[in-house]
Amino acid sequence: MSLILEILESLIPASSVGKAWMAAVLLGVGCGLLGCFVVLRREALMGDAISHAVLPGVVAGLVYSPDRNLALILACAVMAGLCGVGVVRVLERTTRLKPDACLACVLALFFALGLVWQSKFQSETVGVMHFLFGNIGSIDGNDLKMMLVSVVLISVMVVTMRRPLLVMSFDPGFGRALGFPTWCLEFLFYTLLTFAVVVSLQAVGVVLVSAMLITPAASAYLLTDRFDRMLLLSMLLGILSGVIGAWMSTSMSRMPTGPVMTLAASGVFVLVYLCAPRHGVLAKSLRLARRRRLIRRENTLKTIYHILEEEGFSHRDVSVMMIASKRKEAEDHVHLTCEGLQRQSLILFSEDKRSLSLTDSGWRRAMELVRNHRLWELYLTREANYADDHVHEDAEKIEHLLGPSMIRQLEKDLDFPKLDPHGRPIPRVDAGYPTGSLPL
């Protein structure tokens, strides 16, 4: 035991600034790890409820510990937090209230109880403001030892119990089917979560600790679809936010630790929200714009096919004016779309650019689209009992998304049909350009 204490002592920095930075790093690791499970469970309000529910415990520790014994204060806070979680679960199981309503009721009840109690014992609870709003500069060596032990415990439990905790986050029923001790896992998770909240109180305070629990994990969730990477990113973003907050709080005057850390975490979240490579707003907007451009071009190809079909495939050229009339669009707009098709070598413009013709690859793609559309229309009328005049819009949306394997399965299920529900021929993709009539 003495060896462990010596090791812990050797890890504690001597300067107050070093202690603040180390507290910020430990805060980022502990909250970042458990925040991932909270986000996946869709229980972000639970972190907020626990952080507010611990206030009566903090007040009780200050009232019954005149010498400010931190271990006793934190123990009381942990018990109050677990009591809050228990009350939430009882309300969920014994009432018709939704989980968010239960969490809000418990959050308000425990926080109000702590404030009333603190008002009655103001002289004994002078230091409660540090727990309410956080003051990383007040953290001493003993506080850091407790944070270090708690973070090591949380890290070990997350690494060793990662799989069952992850299964429980998505589907507790599946966890029970696999033989996991669900009640024990739930108790373990909420105990660790309460520990993480309590040891973070002095750094960010009761009011904002939930932000450090949720915001880095939410940012990591937008950055990756792999859980292991999410854990790592959440820790790193939590550490980054904590260090920025600690640096600004210790180097500038009138910069409260908790709000500054929260603003730093929120700034990182906004950056990720905008610029995340897969789930960011900019990336989604670009994908949507590309998809709309692709659909517009493919619909133009399909329109060219329809015009040629209506005229019995007697010629290959189609005027831009006819396409614009058929699609009810301006000629300039159609011309712009067709220039994109020409860059993809799907059409060829005439010399005066007033008409165009399909290339071999454009002809194949046009037939694929028409085939997809008509097969899907037939599937909806036969298998989903759609009326013939109600299938066009659904087929119009799905035709661009059907892949070769799905088309093969549709053909097999429909017994390789030759006509769509309206009696029009379903073109074969391997057919060449017809001469006078469409090959079946």
Complete domains list, the chain, with CATH? 15-276 (1.10.3470.10), 286-414 (1.10.10.10)
Q: What stretch of H or E contains 216? A: helix 182-223
CA distance 87 to 82: 9
Across the range 288-311, mean pLDDT stands at: 92
At 433 the pLDDT is 66
Residues 6+ apart with CB under 8 A from 395: 372, 373, 374, 376, 377, 380
For residues 342 and 358, give the distance between their C-alpha atoms in angstroms, rounded to a whole number. Answer: 9
Three-state DSSP class for residue 318: strand
Contact present, 297 and 341 (Cβ < 8 Å): yes
> Inter-axis angle of helices 16-40 and 227-251, to 10 degrees?
150
Cα four-point dihedral sign 262, 267, 270, 276? negative
pLDDT tens for residues 102-144? Answer: 988 998 999 899 889 888 887 777 667 777 777 777 777 878 8
Which comes out higher in pLDDT, residue 36 or 315? 36
DSSP 8-state secondary structure symbol assigned to residue 419: B
pLDDT of 1 reads: 62
Q: How far is CA 97 from the centre of its chain?
A: 26
Report the pLDDT averaged over residues 197-205.
Answer: 80
pLDDT in tens, 330-372: 999 999 999 999 999 999 999 888 899 999 899 989 999 999 8
Distance CA 207, CA 193 (A): 16
pLDDT above 70: percentage of residues in the chain: 96
Residue with tokens 């059907």: 402
As given in the structure block, the two tokens for residue 257 are: 């630790």
Number of helices and strands (H, E) in the chain? 19, 3
Q: Report the C-alpha gap between 167 and 161 in whole angstroms.
A: 10
In the numeric block, the tokens 């993709």 are attached to: 429
Reported in sequence order, the residue ranges of 222-345 that DSSP labels E, i.e. its strands, are 318-319
pLDDT at site 432: 66
Mean per-residue pLDDT, 268-274 = 95
**How far apart, in whole angstroms, are the C-alpha atoms of residue 20 and residue 110?**
29
Return d(Cα 220, Cα 273) in angstroms, integer: 10
Provide φ and ψ at 189, rounded to 5°. -65, -45
Tokens representing residue 12 in the block:
């504690």
- Give me the DSSP letters along 388-401: GGGSHHHHHHHTTT
Q: Put residue 190 in one of left, alpha, beta given phi > 0 → left and psi -120 to 50 → alpha.
A: alpha
Asked whether 39 and 217 are in contact (CB, 8 A), the reply is yes
Reported as type and span, the H/E element at residue 355 is strand 355-358
pLDDT average, residue stretch 10-36:
86
Q: Measure the CA–CA gap between 413 and 395, rounded to whole angstroms.
A: 17
- Assess whether pLDDT exceeds 90 at residue 402: no
Contact 47, 254 (CB under 8 A): no
**Banded model confidence at residue 439, pLDDT cuts 50, 70, 90:** very low
Spatial distance between the Cα atoms of 57 and 53, rounded to a whole number of angstroms: 8
Over residues 176-197, mean pLDDT: 88
Question: pLDDT at position 438, please?
Answer: 44
Which pLDDT value is given to residue 440?
A: 40
What pLDDT was estimated at residue 276? Answer: 94
Is the separation of the CB atoms in 92 and 99 below 8 Å?
Answer: yes
User: Mean pLDDT throughout 305-320?
Assistant: 89
Token pair for 88: 């939430």
What is the rounded CA–CA span in Å between residue 189 and residue 172?
A: 13
Q: Please state, in angstroms and rounded to a whole number, the distance separating the CA atoms of residues 84 and 103.
A: 9
Q: What are the b/e assignments for 339-374, b being 16+ CB within 10 Å?
A: eebeeeebbebeeeeebbbbbeebbbbbbbbbbbbb
The distance of Cα 130 from the centroid of its chain, to the nearest Å, equals: 33
Residue 38: pLDDT band (50, 70, 90) is very high
Mean pLDDT value of segment 256-265: 85
27: pLDDT strictly greater than 70: yes
Mean pLDDT of the chain: 86
